Amino acid sequence: MDARQAAFRAEYQQKISPRYSGWLHGAWIAGAGLGYIGVVLAQVDRGGWAWLSFAVAFAVANLGEWALHRYVLHRRIPALSALWHRHTVEHHHYFTQDCMTVDSHREYRIIFFPPYAVLGIAAIHLLLGALWSLPFGRDAMWIWMAGGMSHYLLYEILHTAAHLPEHPLLRRLPAVNTMRRNHWIHHHHALMSTWNMNLTVPLADWLFGSSDLDCGLWRTLGNGYRMDRLRPEVRDALPDSAFPPSAAGRGRDTAARS
């Protein structure tokens, strides 16, 4: 990483409370989210066709994730400027294409949503589930709520995986390997406002043309680390078209900019 990124990281880490634990933060999100899913699924009576509500809720959450990322987190809207600042100013300066990884669980502070976010997600899907229940019944509501929360937990898992050091297991895991490469592309400053807005399944990216890949849906979903399907405009903007970038390559890029 260059000196500017290193200085930003050092300054940010100094602001993290000494009592903060990334492990506890993650355990709270997982515990609250899984507890919510368990409680709502326990209310399901017969299920049947209502189980399709899980997939619908997941798809709607995927679209919502994409829209929030593209139109709120990367655009400075006065009423929502705090979200823009935390994401574009802090997260995207802490992690760049030169250094995407954490060294300590305390750095999960810059990856996870704040602890109260899981409660907000629960409330949002309670409301959406209640609306969904009007035409489809109470079982559909409970299953919707489980699907929406499952999407959020997957978001946190895959986003964290995108910022972990390179490991053979991460390279081989489906969905994880695809999202790690997608997110590295997204963290290029020249590309972050346009490409790869999904952090879970790149469904909305493919649907709305913001995937950096020029291929069909199934290849987009299962692309893994491949870099031979890039759109020409994305390839032209990349200083290095190899993923994961080699240490030598990162060093050359950094030296060239300094």
- Confidence bin at 167 (pLDDT 50/70/90): very high
Distance CA 214, CA 139 (A): 39
pLDDT tens per residue across span 80-106? 999 999 999 999 999 999 999 999 999
User: Domain locations in the chain?
Assistant: 3-257
Number of helical H runs and strand E runs in the chain: 13, 0
Contact criterion met (CB below 8 Å) for 67 and 83: no
Distance CA 29, CA 35 (A): 10
Distance CA 134, CA 58 (A): 19
pLDDT tens per residue across span 32-73? 999 999 999 999 999 899 999 999 999 999 999 999 999 999
Distance CA 12, CA 14 (A): 5
Question: Which pLDDT value is given to residue 166?
Answer: 94
Question: Which pLDDT value is given to residue 246?
Answer: 64
Distance CA 125, CA 97 (A): 34
For 168-197, give one letter per residue: b (16+ CB within 10 A) or e.
eebeebebbbbbbbbbbbbbbeebbbbbbb
| Cis peptide bond prior to 244, omega within 30° of 0 | yes
Question: Which pLDDT value is given to residue 209?
Answer: 97
